[in-house]
Structure 1
Amino acid sequence: MREVFQQELREVQDRLVEIAELVVISIQNATRAFNDSDVTLAETVIADDSKIDELTVILDELSIQILARQQPVARDLRIVVSALRISASLERMGDMAEHIAQLARYRFPDKVVPKSLRGTFAEMGRLDVVIAQKLAELLRTQDLELADEIRNEDDRIDELHVSVFDKVLGETWKGQAVDTVDATLASRYHERFADHAVSIAKKVHYLGTGDWAPELAS
């Protein structure tokens, strides 16, 4: 029974990695669609989000079955409970990528944001992709140095997020009302994507050390 239990725990980890890898693809495609005004790619992201949702449900059901059958305690219990919370955050990351893609689809064939902000959003998108890649690797390897790197990347996204608001609220802003709304929404989606990654990194750090590492809190 113990061997079966350990196999089930490995399956939980494998499924988390599988979902995380799909999130990487989703944010890669979403940010490219956003920056390039690629409506076909945007629609692919939107359609594929259902697969992330489906795999999240399957993982949650597996975790609940493990809790019911195996009645884990101590660290094993924390692993299963954390998996439920991590899967929820991964699902939300997929939603954020979908929202970014939806903005690209709504504004096609135009760009979502004015030229003055495109460099900022290109950098935010690049950082989100880097964070997603590091998160998938963190879930695969439990290399806690990656948790710190994710936090550092998130700090940079936070700075860019603030700069977007400074721009649209500044006296030199020439955008229309729709430009202001789109820019603030898009910035929020990029920022929240990274925040969910930090939340997951914090949980993995706790599982590895027993320390909640408040400096990793989103």
Structure 2
Amino acid sequence: MRDAYQEQLDELADALADMCNQVADAMSKATRSLLECDLQLAEEVISEDIRVDEVRAVAEERAFALLALQAPVATDLRIVVSAIHGAGDIERMGDLALHVAQAARRRHPLPVLPAEVAPYFAEMGRVGVALALKAGNVIRSRDLAAAAELETDDDAMDDLHRHIFTVLMDRHWSHGVGPAVDITLLARFYERYADHAVAVARRIVYVVTGRMPGPLAV
């Protein structure tokens, strides 16, 4: 009975880690659609988003079943509760990738990004995907050092987010209000995507240590 219970906990963690891989792939495709004006990639992200929602629903169903049938305590209870919250964070990452793809589709065949900001979004996409993949690895490994690294890695996204505003506020900006609004929203989508990846890592710290999510300390 205990072996079956542990297997259920492991399956729950695997489902969340797989979700991280899914949203990493979604953000990779969404970023490419944005940079390359690729409508097909944008449509793929939009149509595949429902799969992330479905995995979240299944993961939450498993978690609530464990709460009801197994009455977990201590570390096991923290695993189940964190899985419920983590599934929400990861689904939101998928939604943010979806928003990026929708922006690319909305402006197609015109580019969303002026040439001078495109490299920053390419880097934001790279950082975001790396954070999502690392979050999935942390879920599986419960590695506190790797969890702490996500906090540091997120600093790169914050720096890029801030730099976007210096570009927009430059007096030589010549692309008007519409592109500036698009860029502001897109930069926020990437920044929030990274924040949710960090939140997932913080929940793993909570699982392992019993400390409530907050600034990571190893």
Distance 1:7 1:140 in 2: 13
Listed one character per residue, the Cα deviations across residues 149-186 of structure 1 (whole Å, up to 9, x for unaligned) are 21122111111111111221232211221101110011
Listed one character per residue, the Cα deviations across residues 49-84 of structure 1 (whole Å, up to 9, x for unaligned) are 000000100110111011011111111111100000
TM-score (norm 1): 0.95
* Structure 2, gaps ≥5 residues long: none
Letter in 1 for 2:36: D
Instruction: Provide the residue aligned with 1:77 in structure 2.
Output: 77
Pairs within 5 Å for 1:32-51: 32-51=32-51
Distance 1:68 1:213 in 2: 24
Q: How many residues align?
A: 217
Distance 1:193 1:85 in 2: 15
Does structure 2 conserve the Cα–Cα contact (< 8 Å) formed by 1:13 and 1:139?
Answer: yes
Identical columns (%)? 41
Q: Does 1:150 align with 2:121?
A: no
Distance 2:206 2:107 in 1: 42
TM-score (norm 2): 0.95
Does structure 1 conserve the Cα–Cα contact (< 8 Å) formed by 2:49 and 2:98?
Answer: yes
Instruction: Provide the residue aligned with 1:12 in structure 2.
Output: 12
Instruction: Provide the residue aligned with 1:132 in structure 2.
Output: 132
Partner SS, residue 174 of structure 2: coil
Does structure 1 conserve the Cα–Cα contact (< 8 Å) formed by 2:132 and 2:197?
Answer: yes
Does structure 2 conserve the Cα–Cα contact (< 8 Å) formed by 1:199 and 1:216?
Answer: no
Instruction: Provide the residue aligned with 2:107 in structure 1.
Output: 107
> How far apart are residue 212 of structure 1 and its match?
4.1
Calculate the aligned-residue CA RMSD, in Å. Answer: 1.5
- Return 152-161 or 182-191, whichever deviates more: 152-161
Instruction: Provide the residue aligned with 2:163 in structure 1.
Output: 163
Distance 1:112 1:146 in 2: 35
